[in-house]
Amino acid sequence: MNDCIFCKIAAGDIPAKLLYEDDNVVAFNDIQAQAPFHALVIPKQHIATINDLQPENADVLGQMYLAAKQIAQAAGYTEQGYRMVMNCEAGAGQSVFHIHLHVLAGREFSWPPG
């Protein structure tokens, strides 16, 4: 997608301090942090919403979660704990229509989430 900000970050067209990168996934800090540590993990392939996932996307989803674990560990949050969240569609809080996994840590989280 030519107008997708996350596609541009993944392609290196918009500079970002990457926390993680491999052939299929990148992670970077969220500019609208909701916790002391708030990163986003995205696939390099454009997939607009969870509703657009196909069986062939299963591997990249697994890679996203493994990357999230790695960046949480690198930031020192594996013992304290961290939360991972994916929103689907605007009504659930998705504001960029390129799937992304939020990785949040560094504060207490309540349940159910807001």
Domains and CATH numbers, the chain: 5-105 (3.30.428.10)
pLDDT digits (tens, 9 = 90+) for 64-107: 999 999 999 999 999 999 999 999 999 999 999 999 999 999 99
pLDDT digits (tens, 9 = 90+) for 16-41: 999 999 999 999 999 999 999 999 99
Q: Which of 38, 46, 98, 100 is catalytic?
A: 100
How would residue 2 be classed by pLDDT, with cut points 50, 70 and 90? confident
Q: What pTM, to 2 d.p., does this model score?
A: 0.95
In terms of Cα–Cα distance, which of 82, 83, 44 is closest to 63?
44
Is residue 100 flagged as an active site residue?
yes
pLDDT digits (tens, 9 = 90+) for 5-15: 999 999 999 99
Q: Is the CB of residue 106 less than 8 Å from the CB of residue 35? A: yes
Q: State the average pLDDT for the chain.
A: 95
